């Protein structure tokens, strides 16, 4: 198996023209075609564009240690 990256031309009727390196032997070959499409444009409000609520700065001595959040039993 071999990977060849090259450019191809597609005509309006859907015909694909591609130029391969000269060391590719003539005959039938199994070819996998991948077409890089332009990126999908994002809508103005994407599905995960969630609202943001600013609650101001965190307290200066805020501790988020597990023991302080859940007590002695850790839950």
User: Is residue 74 within 8 Å of residue 67, measured between CB atoms?
Assistant: yes
User: Is residue 22 within 8 Å of residue 38, measured between CB atoms?
Assistant: no
pLDDT, one tens digit per residue, over 33-43 is 888 776 666 56
Q: Which residues contact 33 (CB under 8 A, 6 or more apart)?
A: 16
Q: Which residues contact 10 (CB under 8 A, 6 or more apart)?
A: 16, 17
With bands split at pLDDT 50, 70 and 90, how would you rate the model's confidence at 27?
very high
pLDDT, one tens digit per residue, over 49-64 is 778 888 899 888 888 8
pLDDT of residue 63: 86
User: Is residue 8 within 8 Å of residue 16, measured between CB atoms?
Assistant: yes
Per-residue tokens: 34: 């991948």
pLDDT of residue 11: 87
The pTM for the full model equals 0.39
């Amino acid at each position: 198996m071999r990977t060849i990256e090259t450019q191809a031309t597609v005509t309006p009727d859907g015909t694909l023209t591609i130029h391969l390196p000269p060391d590719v032997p003539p005959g039938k070959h199994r070819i996998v075609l991948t077409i890089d499409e332009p990126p999908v444009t994002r809508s103005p409000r994407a599905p995960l564009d969630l609202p943001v609520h600013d609650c101001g700065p965190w307290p200066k001595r805020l501790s988020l240690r597990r023991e302080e959040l859940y007590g002695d039993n850790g839950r």
